[in-house]
Structure 1
Amino acid sequence: MRERWGAVGVLAAALFVVNAVARLVIKFGFPDDDTAADRVTLAMFLVIGLILAVLAFRWGSDRPTGRLAGDLAAAIGVALALTLFVGPLLVGKSPFADGAGTFFAQIWLYLAATAAGVLVGYLTLTALGRDFRSRQLKRYAELKATKPRKVVRR
């Protein structure tokens, strides 16, 4: 159990660190350039999506879908909360400094990026037939094919 939640915690921390690094790069590297800030933000969302795609691909091969979804949802939820409430404090802003529209836009963009990453990773895994369920069905089919037929006497 500790190993399971440890991995989820590390994932949440990694997602938050990606966001924190992007915020710090924007603050110190491009304080007045909105175009560069948008590019850094886009790169941050791509990195987050890529991390989740790789982990969905990796974790999906040895975990049932329900457990995989729960683990990823927990990590994304914790990382999202940290990103919304702690991330702005790192650069000296209030979480609600830019208004409710920006606050909720951050939520939707973050959820869209994470959902896209998870879907790409898991659908790729499923298409290759390497997900937990496909492997389970393959083992079952092999087991049934190797049993000798029973001779029925009449």
Structure 2
Amino acid sequence: MGNRWRAVGVLAGALFAVNVVARVIIKLGFDGNDTAADRVSLGMFVVIGLILAGVVFVQGRTRPVGAWGADVGAAVLVALLLTVLVGPLLVGDNPFGGGAGLFFAQIWLYLLAAGAGVAVGYLVLTALGLDHRSQQLKRYAEIKSAKPRRVVRR
């Protein structure tokens, strides 16, 4: 059980680290340039989506959807809270300084990027037939086809 929570914490930490790096790049390099800051933010969301797609692809091969889904959901929730509440404080901003609109926009964009990453990872995994359920069905079909038919005498 401890390894499961450790994995959730590592994933949440990695997602938060991507956000911190993006915030530091924006603060140091593009403080006054809104267009460049938007591009760095877009890049951050793409990296978050790719990380989650990779995690889902790897975890989905050996674990059922319910198991890895709960872990990824918990990690995304923790990373989201850290991103919107702690992330701005690290670069000297107020989390609620931009108003409620910006605060909730960050939440929706983060959830959109996370959801897209999870969906892409799972869809690719399922399309290739490598997901846990497909592997179970494949093993079942192999076992059933390997047994000869029983002859019934009348």
- Give the TM-score normalised by the residue count of structure 1: 0.98
Partner of 1:22: 22
Distance 2:68 2:15 in 1: 17
Opposite residue 19 of structure 2, the aligned amino acid is: N
Q: CA RMSD in A?
A: 0.7
Aligned-residue identity in percent: 67
Aligned residues: 154
Distance 1:19 1:143 in 2: 48
Partner of 2:133: 133
Deviating beyond 6 angstroms after TM superposition, the runs of 4 or more aligned structure 1 residues are none
Structure 1 gaps, min length 5: none
**Deviation at residue 9 of structure 1 after TM alignment:** 0.8
- Give the TM-score normalised by the residue count of structure 2: 0.98
Matches within 5 A, 1:58-97: 58-97=58-97
Structure 2 gaps, min length 5: none
Provide Cα deviations, 1:80-107, integer angstroms capped at 9, x if missing partner. 0000110010011111011000000000
Provide Cα deviations, 1:50-107, integer angstroms capped at 9, x if missing partner. 1011111111111101112111100000000000110010011111011000000000
Distance 1:71 1:38 in 2: 30
**2:112 maps to 1:112:** yes
**Deviation at residue 5 of structure 1 after TM alignment:** 1.5
Partner of 2:121: 121
Partner of 1:101: 101
SS in 2 for 1:150: coil
Partner of 2:47: 47
Provide Cα deviations, 1:21-51, integer angstroms capped at 9, x if missing partner. 1001100111111111011001100100110
